[in-house]
Amino acid sequence: MRRRTRLVGILAVLALLATGCTGSDDQATAQRAADVLAQKLHDHTLAGVALADASATTLFDKQVAGMKTYPVKVSAGDVKTDGDAATADLKWSWSIGDHDWSYRTTAHLVKADHEWAVRWSPATLAPELTDTEHLQVARTAPARADILGARNEPIVTPRKVLRYGLDKARIPAADVPATARRIAKAVGVDPAGFVKKAQAAGGKQFVEAIVLRPGDAHDSVDPNFGHIPGALVLDDTMPLAPTRDFAAELLGQVGPATAEIVEKSDGRVQAGDEVGLSGLQGRYDEQLAGTPTIEVRAVGASDQKRVLTSSAGQPGTPLALTLDVALQTKAEKILADAGDEHSPASAIVAIRPSTGDILVAANGPGNKGLNAATYGRYAPGSTFKVVSSLALLRTGLSPDDVVSCPATVDVNGRHFKNYSDYPANRLGRVSYRTAIANSCNTAVIGQRDRLGSDDLTQAAASLGVGVDHDLGFPAYFGQVPAPAGETEKAADLIGQGKVLASPLAMATVAASVAAGRTVVPHLLEGKAPAANPKKPLTAAEARQLRGLMRAVVTEGSGRFLAGLPGDVGAKTGTAEYGTAKAGGSLPTHTWMIATQGDLAVAVFVETGESGSGTAGPLLKAFLS
C-alpha cells in the first residue's frame, strides 16, 4: 500500500513538471509572436505576422495608409497567457515632424494547433479605432517667414500673384481635353502635360496652369484667355522677391518638395509641401518654414473626424540679410541694360568696408543661373596687382621708387607684355605708382625676385583672398598657391597663372584697403567670421595701397572716374583665358574694382575688351 501511494505521488510530480514546461513554452512562443508583431508594425505592415484572420491585413493597410511616411517605434511588453489566449501591451511612439505621439494598446493572441496567432483589431492600431475609421494626418503650415534686407526692408514677402487655370466645374467633362489644350496655349505651358493634369484632377476641381506676377501677365497671357470656357484667374499671394530676377541666384526658389527632400527630412517634410529648393531658401528652409500645426485624426464614414492628438505649429523666423534693396536693384538694372541672356556672364558686388556688409551681389542676365558674383572662379588679372603691390611694399619697395616698365619681359622663354593700348609715354623708367596707375605688367613682373615663395599668398590673405570662410551661402574667396616655377610666379603677380578669385573676393580686397584692416564680408546678419591673417594689414600699408588706387583714377587707366564725387580709388584688370580666337588672341575676362567712401565694389564681365572699356562703364554707372 505504501509503495502504491509513493508511485501515485511520483506520477503527480511528473504531471506538474510537464504542465509547468508546457506553460513556459506557451509563454515563450506567445512572446515571440508579440515581438514579431511589434517589429512588423515598426515597418507599417502586418505582412509576415501570424494572423488569426488573414483578411485583417487589408483593413490594416487601409487604416494606416495615411501614416506610412511617418516613423514609428513599437515595442511589446511581457505577454500574459490564459489558456489558449494571451495579451501583450504595445507601446507606440510616432514621430510626426516635430510632434511625438505616444500611447499604448493591447494586442490579443490566440493559440490554434499549438501555434500563436494575432487576433487583430483596429483598436490595436490606435485606442478606440473602429472598423469604419482610418488614420489621417492633417498638417496646416504657417505662412513662410520673410527674407529681409538692410534696415529690415522686406525682400521676399507675400506679394500678389495671379493663378491661371481651368475650372472643371464650369464645363462638361467631355470638353476638358480640348479646353485644357486651349488654356495651355494661351498661357504658354506644355499643352500635352496640362491636358494630362486636367484629366487626372477631380471632377469639380480648379486645375492650375501657371502662376504669374500681375506685371508679367500682360506679356505672357493671350488677351483672349478670358473668353475660353472654363478659364479662370484666381487672385492670391506668394512669398516673392521684388522682381523675378532679384538676387535670384542667392535667394533660390520655393516649390513642391522633391522625393529626395522628403526622404532626407526624417518626416519634417511631406509630399506636397512647399519648401525651399535652392539657395538661401533651401539652406534655411527649416527656419523660414516654421512648423505646421498637426492633427492626427480618426476619419470615419461621411468624413466624420475625431482628433486623437494635436500639436500647435510655430511660425518661421525671418532671415535677415545685409543686401541693400535699392543698390541691388540698381546693379541688376545696369547689368541688364548692358546685355541679355546671350551675353557673357557678369556680376557686380559691393561691400561696406566699415562693417563688412555685403550690400550688392548682382548677377547679369547672361549667367544662366550661375552665381558668378559670390562663387565664380576666374583669373582676376591686373586687379590682383593690389595684392602684388602689398607683397612688394612689404619688401621695402616704395610707391615713389623708380622701376623699369619695358614693352615686354622674358621669363624662362615666356614673353609677357602689356595690354595692347598701353600708353607708350609710360614705358621705360617710371615710378612704381605710375606703373600701377597705368597697369604695367612688365614692371610688376620685374620685381618678382624680391618675393619669397609664400609672400604673395600671405599678402592675399591680408586682403581677404585665399582663406575660406563659412558665410552661410556659397562664397569663394579664391586661391593663391605657391608658384611651381619662375614663369608661374610671374603670371601670378599679374593675376593669372594659378591665381583665382570671385567678384566677391576682389570686392573684399578693395574693402580691406578702404578699411585699413582685413575685411571678412558677410551677408547674413549675426554671421560675421573674424579675420585672422598670419600678417595683418597695417594702417601704413593700407594708406600706400589707397594712394596707388587713387593714382589709377587721377593719372592712369581709371581716369574716366575722376569726375565722380568722393575720393575714388580703382584698379582695372584683364585676364586671358580659354582658347585662342581665329586671329590668335585669347579671350579676356575684364574687371574693375573701386572704393568710394564707405563703399567697395568689384565689377566683372566674363569676356570683354578691357577692364576700363568693358567693366569700367558699368562701374561708373553704379558709382554715379
Q: What pLDDT score was predicted for residue 129? A: 97
Nine-digit cell string for 165: 487655370
Q: Could you tell me what percent of the chain has a pLDDT over 90? A: 89
Q: What pLDDT score was predicted for residue 5? A: 45
* 3-class secondary-structure state, position 343: coil
pLDDT (average), residues 174-198: 97
| Residue 509 domain-assigned (yes or no) | yes
Q: How many CB atoms lie within 10 A of CB 291?
A: 19
Q: What pLDDT score was predicted for residue 10? A: 39
Q: What is the mean pLDDT of the chain?
A: 93
User: What pLDDT digit, counting tens, does each position of 470-503 carry?
Assistant: 999 999 999 999 999 999 999 999 999 999 999 9
Nine-digit cell string for 571: 584698379
579 pLDDT higher than 90: no
* 3-class secondary-structure state, position 23: helix
Residues 84, 218 within the same domain: no
9 pLDDT higher than 60: no
Residues 452, 552 within the same domain: yes
What are the DSSP calls for 555-609, one per residue? HSTTGGGTTSSS--EEEEEEEE-SS--TTSPPPEEEEEEEE-SS-EEEEEESS-S
Q: What pLDDT score was predicted for residue 7? A: 43
Q: What pLDDT score was predicted for residue 267? A: 79
The count of domains in the chain is 3
Residues 299, 351 within the same domain: no
588 pLDDT higher than 50: yes
| Residue 615 domain-assigned (yes or no) | yes
Nine-digit cell string for 11: 506520477
| Residue 403 domain-assigned (yes or no) | yes
Residues 62, 154 within the same domain: no
**CA-to-CA distance for 125 and 133, rounded, in angstroms?**
11
287 — phi, psi (to 5°)? Answer: -65, -45
Q: What pLDDT score was predicted for residue 4? A: 46
The domain boundary residue, chosen from 90, 106, 131: 131
**CA-to-CA distance for 463 and 508, rounded, in angstroms?**
7
| Residue 2 domain-assigned (yes or no) | no
Q: What pLDDT score was predicted for residue 301? A: 86
Residues 478, 599 within the same domain: yes
Residues 207, 247 within the same domain: yes
**CA-to-CA distance for 360 and 283, rounded, in angstroms?**
20
pLDDT band at 613, cuts 50/70/90? very high
Helix or strand run (H / E) with residue 160: strand 154-167
CATH code of the domain covering residue 543:
3.40.710.10
CATH code of the domain covering residue 31:
3.10.450.50
Q: What pLDDT score was predicted for residue 266? A: 80
Q: What pLDDT score was predicted for residue 23? A: 60
Residue 137's nearest CA partner among 45, 38, 65 is: 65
> Whole domain around residue 155: which residue ranges?
147-320
Residues 537, 442 within the same domain: yes
The domain boundary residue, chosen from 275, 291, 320: 320
469 pLDDT higher than 50: yes
Residues 287, 370 within the same domain: no
Q: What pLDDT score was predicted for residue 78? A: 95
pLDDT band at 432, cuts 50/70/90? very high
| Residue 113 domain-assigned (yes or no) | yes
User: What pLDDT digit, counting tens, does each position of 236-285 carry?
Assistant: 999 999 999 999 999 999 999 999 999 898 878 988 899 999 999 999 99
pLDDT (average), residues 28-43: 96
Residues 293, 339 within the same domain: no
**CA-to-CA distance for 391 and 220, rounded, in angstroms?**
55
Instruction: Determine whether 359 is exposed, middle or buried from the number of CB atoms within 10 Å of its CB (0-12, 13-18, 19+).
Output: buried
Nine-digit cell string for 596: 568710394
> Are the beta carbons of 107 and 124 closer than 8 angstroms?
yes
The domain boundary residue, chosen from 286, 320, 354: 320
Residues 47, 61 within the same domain: yes
| Residue 140 domain-assigned (yes or no) | no
pLDDT (average), residues 612-624: 97
pLDDT (average), residues 89-111: 95
Residues 158, 300 within the same domain: yes
| Residue 157 domain-assigned (yes or no) | yes
CA distances from 413 to 408, 487, 492, 533 (A): 12, 9, 16, 35
Cβ partners under 8 Å of residue 12, min gap 6: none
Q: What pLDDT score was predicted for residue 528? A: 86
Residues 205, 266 within the same domain: yes
> Are the beta carbons of 323 and 523 closer than 8 angstroms?
yes
Q: What pLDDT score was predicted for residue 402? A: 97
pLDDT band at 189, cuts 50/70/90? very high
Between 6 and 603, the higher pLDDT residue: 603
| Residue 462 domain-assigned (yes or no) | yes
**CA-to-CA distance for 601 and 205, rounded, in angstroms?**
52
Residue whose C-alpha cell reads 574693375 in the numeric block: 592
pLDDT (average), residues 125-149: 96
322 pLDDT higher than 60: yes
pLDDT band at 303, cuts 50/70/90? confident
20 pLDDT higher than 50: no
Q: What pLDDT score was predicted for residue 26? A: 84
CATH code of the domain covering residue 292:
3.90.1310
Q: What pLDDT score was predicted for residue 240? A: 95
